[in-house]
């Protein structure tokens, strides 16, 4: 088993926590690799020059280099780590070094003991569904653990968004936008918008309009669909424009009238400490 470690470098607790985890791994003769930015932060603490070189890779290579990715930070760090592992489906062990830490299973004080339990085989892997989004005129696709949102930008006017499921028309929402959420994301932005709470293990996608017009004739409430459905939202009016953000440090693109954001989903994995 080989571990990768990444984290929020703005957290003052990170150096001591990483060194404690490295100590556990070295005592068990377990291989590990660090995000190169994290290595530079810890450079003065690492004992040998050859060690500094051998355990460091660019962050985007971590999923190729490890069996489990350790994420140190808050929920935003976990969301970034989830996008990072993407199609690799590398399990994530989330250690909370943030405030609320809603997604993190492990506190800083429990991190070393949790690592010991994982090395002893006392853990389980929990599947979490993710969304993969693309947009007209946008070359790349992006993964999101929580949600993908089409929202208004640069104008106070409502958007009119036609929605399609598996290329069949569903409804037209007159609203400030729509949230397309995973079960994990059902307790994030979607919940703040009065959306339903969905069990994390469910294979479901929620479409939740943001502040919909009360007299919208075809769409003013949230809808749910199975995980294998393809969801698309298309702006239908000529005024203002929308943007397509994806999560806490979002990727954003402009959607012009008639352009669509198409979504499909797949599953990803998260490591969770098993209580025995």
The residue count for the chain: 276
Residue pair 198/206 in contact by the 8 Å Cβ criterion? yes
DSSP string, 106-156: EETTTHHHHHHHHHTT-EEEEEEEEEEEEETTEEEEEEESSEEEEEEES-S
Q: What tokens appear for 24 in the block?
A: 């556990």
Q: Tokens 């009238």 identify what position?
A: 257
Residues annotated catalytic, as ranges: 75
The phi and psi torsions of 171 (rounded to 5 degrees) equal -165, 160
Grouping H, G, I as helix, E, B as strand and the rest as coil, residue 77 is helix
Cα–Cα distance, 258 to 83 (Å, whole number): 28
How far apart are the C-alpha atoms of 73 and 11, rounded to whole Å?
Answer: 7
């Amino acid at each position: 088993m080989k571990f990768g470690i990444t984290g929020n470098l703005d957290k003052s607790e990170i150096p001591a926590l990483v060194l404690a985890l490295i100590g556990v791994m070295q005592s068990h003769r377990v291989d590990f690799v660090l995000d190169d930015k994290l290595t530079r932060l810890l450079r003065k603490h690492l004992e040998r020059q050859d060690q500094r070189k051998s355990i460091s890779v660019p962050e985007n290579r971590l999923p190729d280099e490890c069996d489990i990715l350790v994420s140190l930070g808050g929920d935003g760090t976990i969301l970034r780590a989830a996008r990072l592992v993407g199609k690799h489906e590398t399990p994530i062990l989330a250690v909370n070094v943030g405030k609320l830490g809603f997604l993190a299973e492990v506190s800083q004080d429990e991190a070393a003991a949790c690592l010991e339990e994982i090395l002893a085989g006392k853990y389980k892997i929990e599947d979490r569904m993710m969304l993969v989004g693309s947009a007209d005129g946008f070359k790349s696709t992006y993964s999101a653990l929580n949600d993908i949102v089409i929202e208004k930008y640069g104008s106070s006017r409502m958007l009119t968004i036609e929605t399609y499921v598996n290329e069949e028309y569903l409804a037209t929402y007159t609203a400030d936008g729509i949230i397309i959420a995973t079960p994990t994301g059902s307790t994030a932005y979607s919940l703040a918008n009065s959306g339903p709470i969905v069990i994390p293990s469910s294979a479901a996608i929620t479409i939740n309009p943001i502040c919909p017009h009360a007299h919208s004739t075809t769409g003013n409430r949230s809808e749910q669909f199975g995980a294998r459905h393809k969801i698309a939202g298309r702006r239908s009016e000529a005024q203002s424009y929308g943007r397509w953000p994806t999560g806490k440090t979002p990727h954003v693109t402009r959607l012009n009238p008639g352009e669509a954001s198409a979504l499909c989903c797949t599953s990803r994995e998260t490591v969770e400490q098993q209580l025995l």
